[in-house]
Structure 1
Amino acid sequence: MVTDEENGSIREQITANEEARLLPRGWEMRGVGKSNRVAFYRSDGSKADKNGTFDHPVLGGLPRPWELRKKGRGQFIYYNTETKESITRGPRKVSRRSRTPPPGAVIVRSSGNGRLRRLETSLRPLDDKYERVKCLDAGDGTVGGMNDGIYVVRKKLTGQLFVEKNYNGAVPYLIPLIRSEINMMKELIHNSIIHYVASFVQDSPFRATVYMEYCDRGTLRDLILTYKDRKKSHAPDFVPESFVWHAFVGLADALGFLATGRSCVSLSLEAAKNNDAATAGSWVPVVHRDIKPDNVFLRSRDTPGSTKPFYVVLSDFGLAQRESDARRGLQGLVGSVEYHAPELAFDPYPDAARENLQAGPHTGKSDVWALAYPLRSLKAKGRAAKRPVLEITEKAVYSEYLERSITWGAARDPADRPDGWELVTAIKEQRDLWVADANWKAQVELHVAQLSISGPRIDSPNSTEVTQPEAIKMDPYSAEGELINIHNHFHQGQYQEVIDFDTSAFSAENALPARVLQLRARIALGQAEDVVADVQGESEPDLVAVGALAQQALGQSEEAVKTIEELAASSADNVTVQVAGGTVLQTAGKSEEALALLSQHSGSLDAVALIAQIHLQQNRTDLAVKEVAAARRWAQDSLLVNLAESWVGLRVGGDKYQQAFYVFEELAQAPSTSSIVSLVSQAVCELHLGRVEEAQGALEQAIQKQPDYTEAIANLLVLTVVIGKDPSELKESLRKTAPEHQYLVDLEEKSALFDKAAAKFTAKVST
């Protein structure tokens, strides 16, 4: 029996579609015989395996009595020859790291071993891509010893805000620390760790810059000081316990990730308990060594009016190191002494000769202590001097569950203290007990009028206070976090990845949105008939709307429109009804009805993107520009905003062609984001820019991936006409795959008009 964990890698059941795609270069597959059993052949012309093999060239043979069979275009199944059972996932299991990019993460490339890694460090300065809009630190040494200037910058291409951190390499011994910080940021991909965007390093003379996400709500220290300054003690004036739990779980999960290379938050409690640091395999634990409120940043949610709390992220990895690199015995002082765990201090206090030393090395457990201390300060509003350290007395305000969790994390003896993984596993359990405890129902459901933070806003230079949305919910990684990857796969055109996406660990509230995305992906892959069957009898408005979308794809337009009109009357505030319904109505030629339905959205980027597409189809580029520009202001780093802006740019023309090209080219060429949709989009940009050969290469690459992909054929047909070659073969191919394609319809109409006009000028022939 295969265990769930081996060598730190989760053993997952691979899908039949995934197995079919895992072919090495020089191999191809075919369905053979009446059963369409998949056989693998060398495609390099060698005589080896001339007759093919049923054993996968990478994964080997399937356990008997299973076979891999081709079901249809691009679809595969596992078939049991004894029981006649057909399944799409299993019976093979493969190792896969549970490593997913966080919300807002930049595009990553896939390394040879399948693990994710960031884009490489640039060898030339990147300041031509960004413009500085605000100075956060002039580089005079007041904020961090290695800083040579920290700025809020705006990316010229997209208008997104980031932070630019420049490093001072004048002191030689700091250079290895600078390189280490940049490398750490590139490698560590987690929701609660600051998101790396890009970097530049020059060796001689040494210069370095890193670009990272912009956290617009200040730091945890700002929040603590704001509440401390109120100088009140009644319950409504304390930081809500729901937010303390939110910060605690997220940051503890970051420490668990540093210890094991895995995130615990998305796992069930049972699965988390079955994992620990000992099962981390090849992962080498990382120690932060400088955790303090100043290094914990807060960032707004992307959706306006969101009732979820700020993102809480750990930053400043300048002193971080691999735990294995730590030396035993006396150490030079590292980090902020007031946040040192007890085992790092001397007892009794040393003589003057050793006052700049610490008693031992930082460890993962000393990081846990350093996290517990500011969490205690958060709930005590920073008033550490008014009571013994870590004594929690506001029991009328905070629960025994929170007290128990913080006290355990701050245990004096490291032997009694949890590591990062043990901590996050335990506090998830304690938090769930708190949520379920009727005695704390009022706190769980507490609505916060103002969660205020001191700190200047970029968009309002004179403002020093920002306000948290009214209600705080408990799940620190709910919709915006859990769904981000499957959502991005969908909008990148990676429909098969959406279908194969493992959603078993998703929270209950995200089960339906995930299912909707997978159903829409199946429609996009031509499986509309199966989708109609799957949602038949469902009463959930989301599923009824998706069913109508599938009907529209099958040509049943009247039934689909009728269903959407009924849903619009009863569930117009449902985002799936808005997006699926808007698509159905627009396809049926009811643009105004579609826009009326979509206009009722509350911060849905999917709705914004569809509104922009409708305006473009109406030749109202001006309205599309306004719609996307408005969305850019509140969802600045969203993939969908970048895509919508690129669609509009292709219509506006001029330098917008190049900007759109940058977006699509980045998606198309990164293995983790590439799809036939992004390849065709890149080709369209190349064609507008006059780069015919590059456009042809991208289109041919798309057709190689899927020979019957309509849009690739249509655009290659246009390109063929542009360069003066015979398009007959491509025209026939398009006619076979999509006889009603708009290109063919337009061509036929214009040919008829031309013939009609030409007939008027036909010379009469005398007899």
Structure 2
Amino acid sequence: MPSNRRTLVPLAEMSTLPDGWIARIDPSNNRVYYVEGNHTTYHHPTFGVIPRPWQLRIEGTGSRAREYYYNTETREKTTNNPRFGKKELESQLLCVPRELRESATVTKNAPGLLQRMKRPDLSFSNSRHRYEIVHTIDDGGGGLGGMNGGVYVVRIKGIGHCKLDVEKRFTPDTLTPLRNGEPNLGVNEILITRKLIHPALANTIHAFIYPNLEHPTAASLYLEFCDRGSLQDLIKQYAKRIGTAEESYIPERFAWHAFIGLCDGLSYLMGGRSFAIDRDARSPSALPLPDWSPVLHRDIKPDNILLRSRSTLTHLKYPYLVLSDFGLATDSPSTDRYQLSSSLFGSTPFLAPELLHHPFPSRSQSRFFPRNQKHSHSSDLYALGACIYNLCRPCNTYIRSTGTEFVGAWSHFDFETWGSLETERWMMGTVSRKNDLDVGGRYSEQLRECVRLATDWDLVLRGNAIELGKGLVEQATRAGFGAADPSWEEMLPGWATRIHSYNAM
């Protein structure tokens, strides 16, 4: 590597680097390379190898500096990322089994994506030996929930520049069929997630249940890797800067971007089609697909909303937001054991008010929902609305009486009502929640009203994601936040989202 170094100005690919990494230029040919301590490489630690014969180079200086990709054989220059070129992607597939080919290619959100996406086949062969683990998210010790037999960032073996996926393994006790013959939670999650095709929902790349559905002993779900962390991470980054010189607020354009996309994902779960993005479906007369089995998520919270980079490396686009973790979901609520019982189910902090006791439960009630109450499409919408409220108004509160610090998505709680109640009993009571979730005067009246509507305590007024989603695009446009790309001032700060270095391995 060259010894004569000069540091780059921030540009799209070079500035998207994990902590500790810097980008430099080889003055002999203007080729970009990366440095971490004593380690030097041409391979981007986040985006990985650029396929031969391409190189990343830079031309110009100062504010006129521009990055481009250079073909050393043809001398072609382009700003199109060759990692995603058709020729390069097809060359990867030659040594990849057919059922795993989606794992070696890149999904790009674009017009007509829903029509082109296909559901992956369910395999009954154990495919784990075909992947290598590049990072352990959870080793199966229960850190991310009792169903997980391990969560890993993986890639197909033997292909240096294929994209990363996430493998979720399931514990054997979640695979054994229930007494009535219905699938257990692990198998149910695979079957539900695999049928979903929407840009705002977790994208299944591959799945296997070995050796069959009747007597499964091993299973894994492979999902597209969402590389920018979770909405909870994002909210915490803003929350912990409250009261400091770096205090900042989420741009309204990003709030609409998140709200519209995720609400459309909920609309799809309910009706099998896009109601907010598809112009035809925005009509008041548009109905759910007749053969669609509606899906209740039942565990919407900022931890389960992930951020994914765009395949086009540009700063003037927001990352995609993706609803994930369908481990508690159901597409058969009339027979689902949790819908038929009144047992507490889901994440307490984001339960809708109708699922809470008034004003708080007795000790014997704390593990149950109120009588005749259960999860619904309306309660899913409330949880999403509470997430958007916390995005706009993150919490950084210290409760002196208990010595407890709440940093992140807690702003929908009214901590003044806590008193001496045990934490779980207090959280399971309506007294713990604010009943007017107003994002505040720094945001438009349209956004304030839409968040209030999504979190209204009156189920009739709140409605569901289809009813709300049909009008969200129009409301965003009225507020001045239509389809235009964000300006530089509206982009998220560099500290707001995660940047990984898994491709440096």
Deviations 1:123-143 (A, max 9, x none): 221122211000000100111
Q: 1:235 to 1:392 in 2, by over 3 A?
A: farther
Q: 1:160 to 1:117 in 2, by over 3 A?
A: closer
Whole-Å separation in 2 of the counterparts to 1:461 and 1:208: 29
Q: 1:298 to 1:140 in 2, by over 3 A?
A: same
SS of 1:435's equivalent in the other structure is coil
Q: 1:185 to 1:105 in 2, by over 3 A?
A: farther
How far the C-alpha of 1:378 sits from its partner, in A, is 0.5
How far the C-alpha of 1:353 sits from its partner, in A, is 2.9
Q: Equivalent residue for 1:104?
A: 107
Q: Equivalent residue for 1:211?
A: 222
Q: 1:271 to 1:248 in 2, by over 3 A?
A: same
Structure 1 gaps, min length 5: 1-101, 107-113, 463-767
Whole-Å separation in 2 of the counterparts to 1:247 and 1:199: 28
Q: Equivalent residue for 1:637?
A: none
Tell whether the 8 Å contact from 1:239 to 1:451 is kept in structure 2 after alignment. Answer: no
Whole-Å separation in 2 of the counterparts to 1:170 and 1:326: 18
Tell whether the 8 Å contact from 1:151 to 1:163 is kept in structure 2 after alignment. Answer: yes
Q: Where does 1:378-389 land on structure 2 (aligned, <5 Å)? A: 378-383=391-396, 384=411, 389=434
Whole-Å separation in 2 of the counterparts to 1:212 and 1:449: 25
Q: Equivalent residue for 1:244?
A: 255
Task: Name the amino acid aligned to 1:289.
Answer: R
Q: 1:365 to 1:325 in 2, by over 3 A?
A: farther
How far the C-alpha of 1:425 sits from its partner, in A, is 1.2
- Is 1:258 the counterpart of 2:266 in the alignment? no
How far the C-alpha of 1:444 sits from its partner, in A, is 7.5
Q: Equivalent residue for 1:184?
A: 192
Whole-Å separation in 2 of the counterparts to 1:305 and 1:119: 29
Q: 1:430 to 1:169 in 2, by over 3 A?
A: same
Whole-Å separation in 2 of the counterparts to 1:160 and 1:315: 19
TM-score by length of structure 2 reads 0.63
How far the C-alpha of 1:226 sits from its partner, in A, is 0.6
SS of 2:490's equivalent in the other structure is coil
Q: Equivalent residue for 1:459?
A: 502
Deviations 1:598-651 (A, max 9, x none): xxxxxxxxxxxxxxxxxxxxxxxxxxxxxxxxxxxxxxxxxxxxxxxxxxxxxx
Q: Equivalent residue for 2:278?
A: 267
Q: 1:326 to 1:369 in 2, by over 3 A?
A: farther
Tell whether the 8 Å contact from 1:284 to 1:324 is kept in structure 2 after alignment. Answer: no
- Is 1:288 the counterpart of 2:297 in the alignment? yes
Task: Name the amino acid aligned to 1:164.
Answer: E
TM-score by length of structure 1 reads 0.42
Q: Equivalent residue for 1:567?
A: none
Whole-Å separation in 1 of the counterparts to 2:268 and 2:239: 31
How far the C-alpha of 1:448 sits from its partner, in A, is 3.1
Task: Name the amino acid aligned to 1:178.
Answer: G
SS of 1:181's equivalent in the other structure is helix
How far the C-alpha of 1:166 sits from its partner, in A, is 0.4
- Is 1:225 the counterpart of 2:236 in the alignment? yes
SS of 2:479's equivalent in the other structure is helix
Whole-Å separation in 2 of the counterparts to 1:288 and 1:133: 29
2:466 to 403, 421, 438: 421
Task: Name the amino acid aligned to 2:330.
Answer: Q
RCO comparison, higher one (Cα < 8 Å, 6+)? 2
Deviations 1:221-246 (A, max 9, x none): 00000110112389971011111110
How far the C-alpha of 1:303 sits from its partner, in A, is 1.2
SS of 1:255's equivalent in the other structure is helix
- Is 1:377 the counterpart of 2:386 in the alignment? no
Task: Name the amino acid aligned to 2:313.
Answer: P
Tell whether the 8 Å contact from 2:242 to 2:248 is kept in structure 1 after alignment. Answer: no
SS of 1:372's equivalent in the other structure is helix
SS of 1:256's equivalent in the other structure is helix
- Is 1:150 the counterpart of 2:151 in the alignment? yes
Deviations 1:138-172 (A, max 9, x none): 10011111001110001225422100110012365
Whole-Å separation in 2 of the counterparts to 1:372 and 1:449: 21
How far the C-alpha of 1:420 sits from its partner, in A, is 1.2
Q: 1:210 to 1:394 in 2, by over 3 A?
A: closer
Find runs of 4+ consecutive structure 1 residues off by over 6 angstroms: 233-236
Q: Where does 1:608-757 land on structure 2 (aligned, <5 Å)? A: none
Give the fraction of aligned pairs with identical amino acids, expressed as a percent: 33
Structure 2 gaps, min length 5: 1-104, 110-114, 397-410, 416-432
How far the C-alpha of 1:435 sits from its partner, in A, is 1.2
Q: 1:331 to 1:282 in 2, by over 3 A?
A: same
2:163 to 128, 151, 160: 160
Tell whether the 8 Å contact from 1:105 to 1:196 is kept in structure 2 after alignment. Answer: no
- Is 1:447 the counterpart of 2:458 in the alignment? no
SS of 1:452's equivalent in the other structure is coil
SS of 1:224's equivalent in the other structure is helix
Higher helix fraction: Structure 1 or Structure 2?
1
Tell whether the 8 Å contact from 2:134 to 2:502 is kept in structure 1 after alignment. Answer: no
SS of 2:169's equivalent in the other structure is strand
Q: How many residues align?
A: 349
How far the C-alpha of 1:325 sits from its partner, in A, is 3.7
Whole-Å separation in 2 of the counterparts to 1:211 and 1:406: 33
